[in-house]
């Protein structure tokens, strides 16, 4: 990797006292970047310099510092730094933010997402808008949004062999080289159903706009206390998505399947065996997002799902109807 030139904005040891923050003074903030993206290094350094000018100690996540070749700056492991952090900033796509959520949610660290990826459902601040947005947040002008997470573990012969936390979803699925998987599902100890499908998605409201949505699941508002179960290509066409209270405990048993597996946020995987139980419940902690003034979840849905655009075919039909009606009226 070619070494990056020194930042045009000098960075000191970043030990200045904290700047203003209404609920809790921000003295130390973690920076995490989607470092595979071109241009991310310069933006990260600009954000660090901006934090310094506001009196905030900027610490880079170790892998980020390595990737941008700035190990001379303060850095550390996100989970280890968690108890000492007052804020974390993710510069990247939703995947970057999801990984940071899983690591820092247990420490109640507020997160800010700056979009440097493709879609940006949870990295809501546009790249070009970060200076103003970050300035507003540091001045205490922001809204706090809490989101739930899932925790899952796999029981095999009475022992826990895998565990993970998910911000979006937990997915039990077949291998791409095998046939359908058969699953038995229990909710709070009550048998719900056996089904054969390509897989089953258990999603939070945040995850309802991810994989679950592509499998025709419903969209849940982030403040809805629910979970959605969405089958993936079920054998029985009457097997539809269902929304459950997020207080339930869900147990999914692998009855039969070749090379089954489980994934948390499609980032943490484990192979499964017939007879394994995947136990899923709401995590005992939540993640907090900080949004600048004017944030709206509905605006995010409009922009990301193109709700403001009519399908082309519908527009063409409407125009044809109007033209046809005008022609008829002119002949009367």
Give the CATH number of the domain where residue 97 resides: 3.40.50.10330
Q: Is residue 204 part of a domain?
A: yes
Separation of alpha carbons 270 and 272, rounded Å? 6
Q: Is residue 202 part of a domain?
A: yes
Distance of CA 200 to the CA centre of its chain: 19
Say whether both 159 and 89 belong to one domain.
no
Say whether both 107 and 169 belong to one domain.
no
Whether pLDDT at 293 is above 80 = yes
Say whether both 138 and 168 belong to one domain.
no
Whether pLDDT at 16 is above 90 = no
Compute φ and ψ for 17, nearest 5 degrees. Answer: -60, 160
Cβ-based neighbours of 103, under 8 Å, separated by 6 or more: 78, 79, 82
Pairing status of strand 226-232 against strand 242-245: antiparallel
Query: Among 112, 142, 172, where does a domain finish?
Result: 142
Conformational region of residue 308, where left means phi above 0, alpha means psi within -120 to 50, and beta covers everything else: alpha
CB atoms near residue 285 (< 10 Å) = 15
Separation of alpha carbons 201 and 216, rounded Å? 11
Say whether both 177 and 136 belong to one domain.
no
Higher pLDDT, 82 or 307: 82
Q: Is residue 217 part of a domain?
A: yes
Separation of alpha carbons 201 and 232, rounded Å? 7
Whether pLDDT at 208 is above 90 = yes
Compute φ and ψ for 311, nearest 5 degrees. Answer: -55, 145
Separation of alpha carbons 37 and 10, rounded Å? 23
Query: Among 107, 142, 177, where does a domain finish?
Result: 142
Query: Which residues are known to be catalytic?
Result: 94
Cross-strand partners of 229:
202, 242
Say whether both 111 and 132 belong to one domain.
yes
Separation of alpha carbons 277 and 91, rounded Å? 36
Q: Is residue 325 part of a domain?
A: no
Separation of alpha carbons 124 and 89, rounded Å? 12
Q: HSE on the CB side for 95, CA within 13 Å?
A: 10
Say whether both 107 and 192 belong to one domain.
no
Could you tell me if 52 and 16 are in contact, meaning their C-beta atoms sit under 8 angstroms apart?
Answer: yes
Separation of alpha carbons 83 and 148, rounded Å? 20
What is the pLDDT averaged over residues 271-286?
97
Whether pLDDT at 9 is above 60 = no
Domain count along the chain: 2
Classify residue 83 by its DSSP letter.
Answer: G
Say whether both 45 and 99 belong to one domain.
yes
Question: What integer pLDDT is reported at residue 55 of this predicted model?
Answer: 95
Q: Is residue 77 part of a domain?
A: yes
CATH of the domain at 232: 2.60.200.30
Tokens of residue 237, six digits: 């066409």
Query: Can you tell me which residue has the tokens 């089958």?
Result: 231
Say whether both 47 and 168 belong to one domain.
no
Q: Is residue 327 part of a domain?
A: no
Could you tell me if 171 and 263 are in contact, meaning their C-beta atoms sit under 8 angstroms apart?
Answer: yes
Whether pLDDT at 35 is above 60 = yes
Say whether both 185 and 130 belong to one domain.
no
Q: Is residue 132 part of a domain?
A: yes
Mean pLDDT (the chain, rounded): 87
Q: Which helix (H) or strand (E) holds 300?
A: helix 297-305
Length of the chain: 332
Question: What integer pLDDT is reported at residue 322 of this predicted model?
Answer: 56
For the stretch 145-193, pLDDT in tens is 999 999 999 999 999 999 999 999 999 999 877 789 999 999 999 999 9
Residue 195's domain comprises 150-284
Question: What integer pLDDT is reported at residue 331 of this predicted model?
Answer: 56
Q: Is residue 308 part of a domain?
A: no
What is the pLDDT averaged over residues 50-56?
96
Whether pLDDT at 22 is above 70 = no
Query: Can you tell me which residue has the tokens 């100690």?
Result: 57
Higher pLDDT, 120 or 93: 93
Say whether both 164 and 264 belong to one domain.
yes
Question: What integer pLDDT is reported at residue 177 of this predicted model?
Answer: 73
Query: Among 118, 142, 166, where does a domain finish?
Result: 142
Question: What integer pLDDT is reported at residue 200 of this predicted model?
Answer: 98
For the ranges 121-125, 135-139, 327-331, which has the lowest average pLDDT? Answer: 327-331
Say whether both 177 and 274 belong to one domain.
yes
Structure confidence at residue 19 as a pLDDT band (50, 70, 90): very low
First vs last C-alpha separation in the chain: 75
Whether pLDDT at 103 is above 80 = yes
Say whether both 89 and 50 belong to one domain.
yes
Structure confidence at residue 12 as a pLDDT band (50, 70, 90): very low
Question: What integer pLDDT is reported at residue 23 of this predicted model?
Answer: 55
CB atoms near residue 45 (< 10 Å) = 23
Question: What integer pLDDT is reported at residue 21 of this predicted model?
Answer: 36
Separation of alpha carbons 252 and 170, rounded Å? 11
């Amino acid at each position: 990797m070619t070494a990056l030139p020194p930042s045009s904005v000098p960075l000191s040891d970043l030990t200045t006292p904290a700047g203003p923050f209404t609920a809790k003074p921000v003295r130390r903030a973690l920076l995490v970047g989607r470092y595979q993206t071109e241009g991310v290094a310069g933006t990260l350094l600009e954000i660090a310099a901006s934090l310094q000018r506001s009196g905030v100690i900027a610490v880079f996540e170790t892998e980020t510092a390595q990737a941008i070749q700035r190990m001379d700056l303060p850095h550390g492991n996100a989970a280890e730094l968690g108890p000492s952090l007052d804020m974390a900033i993710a510069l990247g796509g939703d995947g970057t933010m999801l990984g940071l959520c899983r690591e820092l949610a247990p420490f109640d660290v507020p997160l800010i997402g700056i979009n440097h990826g493709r879609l940006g459902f949870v990295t809501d601040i546009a790249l070009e808008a970060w200076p103003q947005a970050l300035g507003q947040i540091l001045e205490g002008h922001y809204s706090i949004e809490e989101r739930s997470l899932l925790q899952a573990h796999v029981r095999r012969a009475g022992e826990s062999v895998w565990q993970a936390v998910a911000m979006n979803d937990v997915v039990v699925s077949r291998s791409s080289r095998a046939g359908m998987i058969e699953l038995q599902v229990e909710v709070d100890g009550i048998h719900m159903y056996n089904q054969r499908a390509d897989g089953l998605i258990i999603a939070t409201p945040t995850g309802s706009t991810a994989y679950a949505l592509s499998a025709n699941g419903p969209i849940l508002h982030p403040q809805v206390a629910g979970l959605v179960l969405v089958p993936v290509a079920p054998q029985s066409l009457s097997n539809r998505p269902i929304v459950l209270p997020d207080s339930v405990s869900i147990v999914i048993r692998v009855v039969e399947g070749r090379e089954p597996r489980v994934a948390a946020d499609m980032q943490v995987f484990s192979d499964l065996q017939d007879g394994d139980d995947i136990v899923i419940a709401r995590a005992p902690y939540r993640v907090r997002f900080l949004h600048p003034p004017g944030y709206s979840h509905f605006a995010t849905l409009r922009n990301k799902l193109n709700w403001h655009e009519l399908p082309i075919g519908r527009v063409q039909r409407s125009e044809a109807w109007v033209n046809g009606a005008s022609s008829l009226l002119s002949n009367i």
